[in-house]
Amino acid sequence: MLLLFPGEPFNLPQVEPVYAAEAVAAEQLGLAWAVIDLEALIDGAIKQALRRVPTATAPTLAVYRGWMLSLDQYQQLSNGLAARNYQLINDPASYTHCHHLPNVLPLLGNQTPASIVFPQAQGLDAASIAHEAAGSFGQQALIIKDYVKSRKYEWHEACFIPNASDQAQSAKVIQTFIERQGADLVGGVVLRAWHALEIWQAHQQSGLALAYEYRSFWLDGRLLWATPYWDHQPSQPTPDWARYAELAQQVQSRFWTLDLALTQTGAWLIIELGDGQVSGLPDHASAHEFLHALAQRLAAT
């Protein structure tokens, strides 16, 4: 296995600081790793991007641990690595399956908030979206995001819609979200029903209410590793991971993540299902434990 980390812009071969702890852990565990130049990858210069990745003498599994990539960028990365005899743990189809929320919504059913998808290709008119939301959700509160990200740290301006029936207010939040995402908006807009979560603390900087949340990594249909999402979050209550065994068999990916949040009714709600390579570790999490678990599981397959 070869781990791939993004290099610090204009300071190769240093690893991007966010992923430096994983690179140190890989070194301590004796795992092979290399740095890729994301700036070059974004520019379409795949050979330049992979200039620090040695060619493998035999077919070798590669696991990318870094920033989110567009579907085109991921395809280029996959092709470039294949030319060096590496195969990404998730092929481009698997990456697409988990990276874009609308692809997995049919699998999640009522375990995730009710959602309406508005593809960017069909045009994103805030007033029209607000009108449809009012018809579908009534007075329900909503969250807005694109296919991969929300703007939760801009909660009232560009994330939370208190009452879907208030179309003027809804349209204002939707328009603000679309404008602030700008060229970074991915896929389209998704409106999701808001559920009251069990809060344990407010974020010290943003004031964001912090719920009991877990990030879990899954490999080949089985739970690999899980951790509380927020720094200093109490380790209890804990989800019953066995509940997601059936779902895990349906996800069309080897390596993916499941993020859960506890509602005020005591139920765990699926907030996100994502690609395991571009899902980061919370600041408090042990990179050593995570990579050790990953390496052990892969060695056993």
Residue span of the structural domain in which 57 resides: 2-88
pTM given for the model? 0.94
Question: Alpha-carbon distance 147 to 97, whole Å?
Answer: 11
Is residue 297 included in any domain, yes or no?
A: no
Is residue 101 included in any domain, yes or no?
A: no
Residue 255 has a pLDDT of 98
Is residue 120 included in any domain, yes or no?
A: yes
Is residue 261 included in any domain, yes or no?
A: yes
Letter for the amino acid at 145?
K
Residue 49 has a pLDDT of 98
Q: Which of 51, 69, 88 is the last residue of a domain?
A: 88
* Token duo for residue 56: 């493998």
Q: Which of 163, 193, 223 is the last residue of a domain?
A: 193
Q: 166 and 129 in one domain?
A: yes
Is residue 204 included in any domain, yes or no?
A: yes
Q: 122 and 72 in one domain?
A: no
Question: Alpha-carbon distance 286 to 18, whole Å?
Answer: 13
* Token duo for residue 78: 């996959």
Question: Alpha-carbon distance 183 to 292, whole Å?
Answer: 37
Q: 170 and 151 in one domain?
A: yes
Q: pLDDT tens-digit profile of 53-75?
A: 999 999 999 999 999 999 999 99
Q: List the CATH number of the domain containing 208.
A: 3.30.470.20
* Token duo for residue 59: 């077919």
DSSP for 60-122, written as a single string: EEEEE-SS---HHHHHHHHHHHHTTTEEESS-HHHHHHHHSHHHHHHHHGGGS--EEEEEGGG
Total domains in the fold of the chain: 3
Question: Alpha-carbon distance 29 to 197, whole Å?
Answer: 38
Q: Which of 165, 193, 221 is the last residue of a domain?
A: 193
Per-residue pLDDT of the chain (301 residues), as tens digits, is 999 999 999 899 999 999 999 999 999 999 999 999 999 999 999 999 999 999 999 999 999 999 999 999 999 999 999 999 999 999 999 999 999 999 999 999 999 999 999 999 999 999 999 999 999 999 999 999 999 999 998 999 999 999 999 999 999 999 999 999 999 999 999 999 999 999 998 876 666 788 999 999 999 999 999 999 998 999 899 999 999 999 999 999 999 999 999 999 999 999 999 999 999 999 999 999 999 999 999 999 8
